[in-house]
């Protein structure tokens, strides 16, 4: 199925404190006591929520008349009262009459919204006898904790919710795959009635962030990480400050990092801050993808404009591209995919550019900037540890610059294979400590050895480092790995994985936006 809500590019102002959409951020409040609930209301306001959802079913002691009155009176934000029964995923185990009475009371006492489940809506309507206080909006909701049904079923569900008298439609489904979200966007964007449509789980995150783009009434944002009322909820802080939720509009372009796992990626922070600072109308998301071809087939409109690609999808993404840059083709992996104005996907590999240019800069630093002609890598012996995606990129990049390449890998056969491809030598990793043919070599670790949490590991002994003039490590958590620390102590110039990360990000940013990358800002963000 193709999802096709399209729009053009547009620039906007700096966005500081600006709101470009009507979508609300609702903080679900879950507390044992009314006092705690009141504390949370104030916290929600200070964090930037627009409205609070008071989950009555979480209160351990609850006296409806006095408690609801107090909560409405003191709440600094508009309210939504929800009294979710166990049979719909909540905590309330009592009878329906008491539940309906509490919700009716909330309506009479001035609640701005109440939520009633579709399964109980008919009975609740009969209970009210048509006496609905005018101010209160009734949300009729449905929750599916197992899957996201086909589009026809979702359409029927929405029609039933509307027929039950909803002022606002709400449905939440579960994402088994990120492409499930496209069906929910299709329903949201065509709804005639205000609608809240969420897809639960990490694979559904996009549905929560892009709510303003597709015309959703509200999204839920938790007060703290992990304190969620449904799986996959971001925090208010993330919505506002990481994803620039207030700035999203129907024509906002969507970018993101495709990977699995992907939630640890710092790329959204980097790109979204940069987009905001230059007024670029885009948003960059974490995209937890299982099936890369299905992802590209589903999100095929011009709105889904550019993607970074990380482990384990770099090879699969290459196969989905209509055109691939020759170097990326040789490497056999893309880490950047851009949708061209004609809709075609173009793939390239900026890992190679980022790493090699950082290493060249490091060498230029050693040579006080003088290179003569050509790359400072020309004719140098360039030792790559690792033969995976990053290893291939570094080996090809170094070869292109005229270096003599040697691959050292734990699995010798893979080293041999890569060495044959780039026209270089191969060693097993175990042989590397005693490999000292000349001074002034360059070493590039492209394995995950030394990466957090195994920060005490290193791929080569300190003694062997004396023969290298420059040591690079692709690992960027921590920034200074044991390898780099020991290399610096041995007198080598060091280049970090953060330098590589920033370098590849500059290149991607320029390809995504057509604008020069804010280099100083990228460095500052990464330093923090
Ligand atoms: P990959 O394709 O899975 O390759 C992993 C390589 O590391 C293989 O050569 C593997 O050897 C070797 N290896 C893994 N664990 C090892 C161990 N315990 N001992 C010895 N060798 C080991 O991964 P990749 O995409 O190339 O990524 C590798 C590293 O580069 C990761 O840490 C990643 O975070 C980093 N990276 C950084 C950036 C950046 O911007 N800084 C960009 C891309 C990647 P075998 O062949 O023997 O299995």
Per-run averaged pLDDT (10 residues), the chain, 528 residues: 33 57 98 98 98 98 97 98 98 98 97 98 95 90 98 98 97 98 98 97 98 98 92 96 98 98 93 96 98 98 97 95 94 95 96 92 82 87 95 94 97 97 96 96 97 96 97 95 98 96 94 95 90
- C-alpha 184, offset from chain centre: 19
Supply the pLDDT for residue 15.
37
Q: Number of helices (H) and strands (E) in the chain: give both, helices first.
A: 18, 20
Q: Whose CA is nearest to atom 2 of ligand 1?
A: 388
Hey, is 384 helix, strand or coil? Answer: strand
Residue minimizing CA distance to atom 39 of ligand 1: 501
Q: Is residue 217 a contact partner of residue 196, using CB atoms and an 8 Å limit?
A: yes
pLDDT score at 16? 47
From 267, 447, 473, mutation site for ligand 1 pocket: most ligand atoms within 8 A of C-beta? 447
Residue 294 to residues 136, 317, 440, 524: CA-CA distances in angstroms? 42, 11, 47, 36
CA–CA dist 150, 169 (Å, integer) = 18
- Count of CB atoms situated within 10 Å of the CB of 440: 12
Pocket test for ligand 1, best of 410, 433, 457, 482 (most atoms within 8 A of CB): 410
Per-residue DSSP letters for 238-279?
A: IIIIIS-GGG--TT-EEEEEEESS-TT--HHHHHHHHHHHHT
pLDDT computed for residue 133 by the predictor? 83
Distance 314 CA to ligand 1 centre (A): 13
Q: What is the pLDDT of residue 527?
A: 85
pLDDT value at position 8? 29
Annotated catalytic residues are: 143, 170, 314, 351
CB of 286 closer than 8 Å to CB of 256? yes
**Selection from 282, 232, 287, 218 nearest residue 259 by Cα:** 287
Question: In which residue are the tokens 């292109």 written?
Answer: 400
Q: Which atom of ligand 1 is nearest to the CA of 499?
A: 41
Q: Which residue is it, tokens 């795959």?
A: 177
Residue 231 contacts residue 201 (beta carbons within 8 Å): yes
> What per-residue confidence (pLDDT) applies to 369?
62
Residues in contact with 333: Cβ distance below 8 Å, sequence separation at least 6, in sequence order: 314, 315, 317, 318, 349, 351, 389, 392, 393
Answer yes or no: is the C-beta of 391 below 6 A from any ligand 1 atom.
Answer: yes
Strand-pair category, 336-339 with 323-324: unpaired
Helix (H, G, I), strand (E, B) or coil at 34: helix
The residue whose CA has the least distance to atom 3 of ligand 1 is: 388
Q: Quick one: which of 446, 450, 443 has its CA closest to 405?
A: 443
Q: Which residues of 300-336 are buried (b: 16+ CB within 10 A; e: fewer)?
A: bbbbbbbbbbbeebbebbbebbeebbeebbbbbbbbb
Give the pair of three-digit tokens for residue 270.
């980097």
How much is the pLDDT for 370? 62
**What's the 385 CA to ligand 1 centre distance in angstroms?**
9
Distance 302 CA to ligand 1 centre (A): 33
Q: What are phi and psi of 112, to 5 degrees?
A: -80, -35
């Amino acid at each position: 199925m193709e999802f096709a809500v399209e729009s053009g590019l547009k620039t906007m102002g700096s966005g500081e404190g600006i709101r470009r959409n009507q979508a609300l951020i609702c903080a679900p409040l879950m507390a044992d006591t009314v006092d705690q609930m009141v504390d949370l209301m104030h916290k929600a306001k200070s964090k930037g929520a627009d409205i609070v959802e008071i989950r009555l079913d979480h209160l351990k002691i609850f006296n409806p008349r006095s408690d609801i009155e107090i909560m409405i009176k003191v709440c600094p934000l508009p309210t939504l009262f929800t009294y979710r029964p166990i049979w719909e995923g909540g905590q309330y185990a009592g009878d329906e009459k008491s539940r309906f009475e509490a919700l009716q009371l909330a309506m009479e006492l001035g609640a701005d919204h109440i939520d009633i489940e579709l399964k109980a809506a008919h009975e609740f309507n009969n209970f009210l006898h048509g006496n609905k206080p005018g101010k209160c909006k009734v949300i009729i909701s449905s929750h599916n904790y197992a899957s996201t049904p086909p589009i026809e079923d979702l359409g029927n569900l929405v029609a039933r919710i509307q027929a039950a008298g909803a002022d606002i439609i709400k449905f939440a489904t579960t994402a088994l795959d990120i492409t499930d979200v496209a069906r929910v966007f299709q329903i949201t964007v065509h709804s005639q009635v205000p609608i809240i449509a969420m897809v639960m789980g990490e694979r559904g995150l996009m549905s929560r962030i892009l709510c303003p783009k597709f015309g959703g009434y509200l999204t839920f944002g938790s007060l703290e990480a992990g304190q969620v009322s449904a799986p996959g909820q971001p925090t208010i802080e993330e919505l506002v400050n990481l994803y620039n939720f207030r700035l999203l509009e129907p024509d906002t372009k969507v970018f993101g990092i495709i990977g699995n796992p992907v939630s640890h990626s710092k790329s959204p922070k980097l790109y979204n801050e940069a987009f905001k600072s230059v007024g670029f109308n885009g948003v960059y998301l974490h995209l937890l993808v299982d099936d890369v071809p299905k992802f590209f087939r589903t999100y095929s409109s011009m709105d889904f404009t550019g993607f970074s690609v990380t482990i384990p999808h770099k090879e699969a993404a290459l196969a989905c591209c209509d055109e691939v840059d020759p170097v990326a083709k040789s490497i056999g992996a893309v880490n950047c995919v851009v949708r061209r104005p004609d809709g075609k996907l173009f793939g390239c590999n900026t890992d190679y550019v980022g790493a090699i240019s950082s290493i060249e800069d490091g060498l230029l630093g050693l040579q006080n900037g003088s290179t003569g002609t050509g790359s400072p890598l020309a004719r140098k012996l360039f030792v790559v540890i690792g033969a995976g995606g990053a290893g291939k990129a570094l080996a090809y990049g170094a070869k292109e610059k005229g270096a003599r390449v040697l691959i050292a890998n734990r699995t010798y056969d893979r080293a041999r294979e890569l060495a044959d491809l780039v026209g270089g030598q191969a060693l097993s990793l175990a042989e590397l400590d005693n490999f000292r043919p000349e001074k002034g070599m360059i070493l590039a670790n492209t394995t995950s050895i030394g990466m957090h949490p195994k920060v005490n590991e290193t791929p080569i002994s300190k003694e062997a480092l004396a023969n290298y003039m420059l040591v690079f490590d692709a690992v960027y958590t921590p920034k200074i790995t044991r390898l780099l620390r020991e290399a610096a102590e041995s007198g080598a110039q060091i280049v970090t994985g953060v330098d590589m990360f920033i370098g590849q990000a500059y290149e991607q940013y320029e390809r995504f936006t057509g604008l020069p990358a804010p280099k100083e800002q990228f460095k500052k963000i990464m330093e923090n």
